[in-house]
Structure 1
């Protein structure tokens, strides 16, 4: 069995990803490409879909929403949901994100079709999303 001499602080500063179960621990930052496609589950382990994309506010630089694909089978059907990124918690040991909501809550949230994304300046849609998830809408 191969072992690695690790310096977690150096790994996190340089972005070098060592192999093994404790690579880059403690986890502080992730690349967009490492997040897109990740599974999302609730605290009970129910599959809630996967992260299809991220939405970044170009004025603040903040990742505002993870776009969650839910209800599809082999990429067919399903719906997309903009989930406030703050709702997600990473489970680094399991390589999944945890959304502390049940499937019914997600099904009832404002969603959209893969081929008909809301405009990025659609304040009504994103206001509805923020309101549904309990966030105040910014003016």
Structure 2
């Protein structure tokens, strides 16, 4: 069933992973590397967006609140409402560090930084 913006209400994780992510200027900044799931609330904690590296070297992974990732069909990817500068200064870490403490530290840092509405 589509949402008010025409999006589907359900999507397979395998379709999300690898999807390009764009900033507000329309520049591709990276792609969705993974999603963190909150098993206790049945919500998506955050999307893990990788960018900043070359061929996997030097890449950092950014936890971005899931609601901030807006799929735009004409781009074939997600657009986040943030500038390049905001994204460069955002919380980032390795995949391993993002999942420490069940991902709660990364989740809280991301929601605080982006001033996103909390789902929990």
Q: Tell me whether the two structures share a fold, i.e. TM-score over 0.5.
A: yes
The higher radius of gyration belongs to: 1
Please list every run of 5 or more consecutive structure 1 residues that lacks an aligned counterpart in the other structure: 1-8, 13-25
TM norm structure 1 = 0.72
- Which whole-Å deviations, capped at 9, do the CAs of 1:62-112 have from their partners, x for residues lacking one? 112000001111222110011000111001232110011111101111110
Contact 1:112 1:118 in 2 (8 A): no
The aligned residue for residue 39 of structure 2 is 58
TM-score (norm 2): 0.82
Structure 2 regions of 5+ residues with no counterpart? none
What do you get for the CA RMSD once the two structures are aligned? 2.4
Q: Which has the higher contact order (CA 8 A, sep 6+)?
A: 2
Matched, 1:129 2:110: yes
Residue 15 of structure 1: aligned partner: none
Aligned residue for 2:86, secondary structure, equals helix
Structure 2 CA distance for aligned equivalents of residues 35 and 41 of structure 1: 14
User: Alignment length, in residue pairs?
Assistant: 116
More helix by share: 2
